[in-house]
A and B are shown apart, each in its own frame.
Chain A
Amino acid sequence: MSEPRTGVLCASGSLGLTPMHPESYWAAVEDGPDAIVADAGSGDIGASYLGSGARYNPVEWELHDLRLMLTAARRLGVPMLVGSVGGAGTNGSVDRYVEMVKQIAAEEGLSGFSLASIYAEIEVDELARLAAAGGVPPLGAAGPLEEADARRCDRVVAMMGVEPLLAALDKGADVIIAGRCCDDALFAAVPMHRGHDRALSLHMGKTIECGPLVATPVIMREAIAGVMREEDFLVVPYHEGQRCTPASVAGHTLYERLDPHRLPVPGGVVDLTAAAFEAHTDTVCRVSGARWEPADPYAVKLEGSAFVGHRALFLFGLRDPLSIANVDRMCDGIAVEIAKHFGEAGDGRYHLNFHVYGRDAIMGEREPLKQIDAHEIAVVVDVVAPDPGDAQSIAKMAKYASLRVHYPGKLGTAGGCAMLADEVLMPSMPVYEWVLDHLLPLDDPLAPFTIQLETV
């Protein structure tokens, strides 16, 4: 038997990405939600944040959003949940977020609440041992995980389902800071804890986890709520310029998923074949019809990140039509010059890619249009090398060569390109790559996720 109604407030579609807008948020808080929730990460941001542990957001913005959530949740006496913290949901990010919550609590004079941290990292040695035993089946990969691929990973997280969150709520957690977590589960946890249907709760979670992306027009960082009822849920906007219509909500069901009829989550699939989207009012949409299809065995998705190297970029532009016509010859000449000093690209010492903006820099080999119509183009020389000194020197060699490389009929002999700056650009974060596209079967959905509680 469920509570008749459970309101879940999505405070931000991505905590800390840019600061939340307080006006619609406080309007939503006035409605008395039963949980205040925000996702703080994504697989989209790439493997480098997982591998390096670098911060995805400015700490001031994370503090801003956490402060709004914590003060309202404590005032209402309802659970606050934040998942996939820090962008990638690493253990280090969980610890950092826990410290921020304590700092805010001290500054705001809030105490007497139970704070849960849930960790989602998997030891590489443990994963390698499971892989060696053939125990890590593919999600989209061609086959089961090989031990050597497991060992390539520098850091691995498992995407938790709703069970660890429910366990923390059972233990009386008022605030949950979770590592890598299925977004849908994060928002479904409190409704399920209050007895609502699993499939409907997860569909509600999928619907509101990106906040105002579900509304029309999209105005980011505004508050959205999902209100669970016994047979359906409502999607409610709080910015006066936004509406949640059947078209906007059904359309958002498609977002970032492979199949709109089937939403795979830890432990099963939410079947939306019979889902219905109807106007409840002019601005509120009513959704029903989700069904649960359990998976056997229960499994969670793995994400693993492996170090590739350090990146150095050199960016140059071309305006001379003859230079533009010869851009491939220029790039080949640059590559030859680099190879004279550093050996061939791709032999382990460095990777070299040329991105020709104005032609196919965005779509690469998928680009159907191969001719250049622009009167100016840009070329980004993209160097990645395990040794940062190599990366920098190779990009500097590209700079030198781009000025001097020859092609037939060249007129501009004083310097063959326009440099954005007479330096190479070196991003501060190393390059990592995704390694795992696999599942971790679990006898116990809680097993790899450590839950710690403390009283603040």
Chain B
Amino acid sequence: MPRLAELAAEISSKNAGAFCLTFDIVFDTRERYEQVKRAGVISAERIAELYGMPVEQVLGVVEFDQGNAFKIAVRRERPSGSVGETDVFGAQQYAPLLDIEIP
């Protein structure tokens, strides 16, 4: 089964404001986007499981057809830059998405 990293043109993470993180998964072609969409493997439950967070912390998983893209938003455990911060911009938080297998 292909991994998400092999199908997507962009997989990234970034803060959306100081209190949330957002993940973008963008595809070069409509076919690949539809393939992943049909597989149904990108869901709030799956994100919660991958990141070890309660599903309520996942604010949304949106299919953005105009951009052949998925948009995921989660609430941060603490605001960006707080004591104990590990990634101020949230720019390396996408790594667990890379290995999602697409049936």
Interface, chain A (partner B; CB < 8 A): 43-44, 46-48, 140, 247, 250-251, 253-261, 272, 275-277, 303, 308, 351, 353, 355, 361-366, 368, 382, 384, 431-434, 437
Interface centre among B66, B77, B84, B96 (most CB of A within 10 A): B66
Complex contacts, B18 vs chain A, CB 8 Å: 43-44, 46-47, 303, 434, 437
CB within 8 Å of A: which residues of B?
A: 9-10, 14-20, 22, 24, 26, 28, 50-53, 59-60, 62, 64, 66-69, 71, 73, 75, 77, 79-84, 86-89, 92-93, 95-96
Of A43, A272, A355, A432, chain B has the most CB atoms within 10 Å of the CB of A43
Residue of B14, B20, B53, B64 touching A261 (CB-CB under 8 A): B64
> With A44-B88, A258-B20, A363-B93 in contact, do A251 and B81 touch (Cβ < 8 Å)?
no
Q: A251-B67, A259-B60 are in contact. List 18 more A-B contacts (CB 8 A).
A: A46-B80, A47-B80, A140-B17, A247-B26, A250-B64, A250-B66, A254-B26, A255-B24, A256-B14, A257-B22, A258-B20, A258-B59, A258-B60, A260-B71, A261-B64, A365-B52, A434-B79, A437-B19
CB-CB under 8 A from A251, the residues of chain B are 10, 24, 26, 67, 69
Q: Which of A308, A353, A362, A366 has the most chain B CB atoms inside 10 A of its CB?
A: A366
Which B residue's beta carbon lies closest to that of A303? B18
Given A261-B64, A434-B79, A434-B80, CB of A366 within 8 Å of CB of B15 = no
The answer to whether A44 and B89 touch across the interface, beta carbons within 8 angstroms, is yes
* B81 CB contacts on chain A under 8 angstroms: 46-48, 431-434
Question: What is the CB-to-nearest-CB distance from A241 to chain B, in angstroms, rounded to a whole number?
Answer: 18
Leading 3 A-B pairs by shortest Cβ distance: A250-B67, A46-B81, A434-B79
Q: Which residues of B have CB within 8 Å of A272? A: 66
How near does chain A come to B38, taking the closest CB pair, in angstroms?
A: 20
A366 contacts which of B19, B20, B52 (Cβ < 8 Å)? B52
CB distance from A289 to the nearest CB of B (A): 9
Chain A residue with minimal CB distance to B24?
Answer: A254
User: Within 8 Å CB of B17, what residues of A?
Assistant: 43, 140, 437
Asked if A366 meets B82 with Cβ closer than 8 Å, knowing A254-B22, A254-B69, A259-B73, the reply is: no
